[in-house]
Structure 1
C-alpha cells in the first residue's frame, strides 16, 4: 500500500491594529512565514504587495486590518487583507478589471495598487456583509503569487 502525501498547504492569520507600524509587522510576518516554508522565490513580491495593502488600510480605511496568508495546493500563495471600509478600489473591482494608471512623476502616493497588477498573478476584491466572519461590514482584497 502506498502512502498519500498531502499538498503543502498552510494558513496563517494576523490581526493588525490601526497603527503606522502595521505594514512593517505585515512585512516581517510574510518574511518569517515564507522563509519558514522555503518559498524564498516569491518572498520579495509577496512582502511588497502585502505591505502596500496593509499600508492602504492605515491611510484610507481608518481601522484595524486582518492579514491572511494561504498556501494553495498548486504552489500558489494567496494573501488576503480585510478592513472595515466598504470601498473596493481598482484593480480589485468587478471585471473587466479596472486598471490603475501610472502615478504622476513626483507624486507621493498612487503606486501600491499599480504594483499589485504588475506583480500578482491574480487578484480580486470581495465585499464583506454585516455578520460575515463576525466582523461587520467591510471588504477583503486578495492577490495570488506563484
Structure 2
C-alpha cells in the first residue's frame, strides 16, 4: 500500500560566497534522499546548479535555493536572487536559441529549459516580505 506524504518545501539562504552553489547542491541531494526522491537527484541537481550559477555570476547580492514537492513524485527547484531583471532565456515567449559552440558562457539557462518539464519566473517587485528580486524555477519528476 502506497503512502501519501505531506507537501514539503525547504529554502536555503546562501551568502555571496563561491562555495555556496556546491553547498546548495549537497543540500538538495540530502533533501531528495530523505524524502524518497533520490531518483530525481541528477536532473534536479543539474537544474539547481545552472540556476545557482546564474544567480552567483550575474547578481551582486545573496540568493536562495528553494526545493518544493509538487504532486506525487514531482518537484520544483527554484533560485531567488535580488536582481529583478529576467534573463533572456526565461523571457515570456523567448525562442530556444542555442548559443554558438565556440562561446564559453551562455548555455546554462538554455540547458535548464531543455531538461526541465516546465520553467518559469516570478518577478518580485515589492521589497516587503519578498525582498524583491526574482525567482527562476524549473519542475522535474514523473511526466504528467
Please classify the TM superposition score into its range, dividing by the shorter chain length. 0.7 to 0.9
Distance in 1 separating the partners of 2:48 and 2:6 = 21
Deviations 1:52-98 (A, max 9, x none): 1111111101110011100113321011111111111133222x2x1
Alignment of 1:79-118 (within 5 A): 79-94=77-92, 96=93, 98-118=94-114
Is residue 70 of structure 1 aligned with residue 68 of structure 2?
yes
For the structure 1 residues 116 and 132, does the alpha-carbon distance in structure 2 shift closer, same or farther, using more than 3 Å as the test? Answer: farther
Normalising by the residue count of structure 1, what TM-score does the alignment of the two structures yield? 0.86
| Unaligned stretches of 5+ residues in structure 1 | none
Greater CA drift, 111-120 or 101-110: 101-110
| Unaligned stretches of 5+ residues in structure 2 | none
Normalising by the residue count of structure 2, what TM-score does the alignment of the two structures yield? 0.87
SS of residue matched to 1:81? strand
Instruction: Report the alpha carbon displacement of residue 34 of structure 1 after superposing the two structures with TM.
Output: 0.8
Distance in 2 separating the partners of 1:128 and 1:24 = 26
Alignment of 1:1-146 (within 5 A): 6-94=4-92, 96=93, 98-135=94-131, 137-146=132-141
CA RMSD of aligned residues (A): 1.6
Contact 1:90–1:99, Cα closer than 8 Å, also in 2: no
Deviations 1:79-133 (A, max 9, x none): 1111111111133222x2x134222223221111011111100110011012343
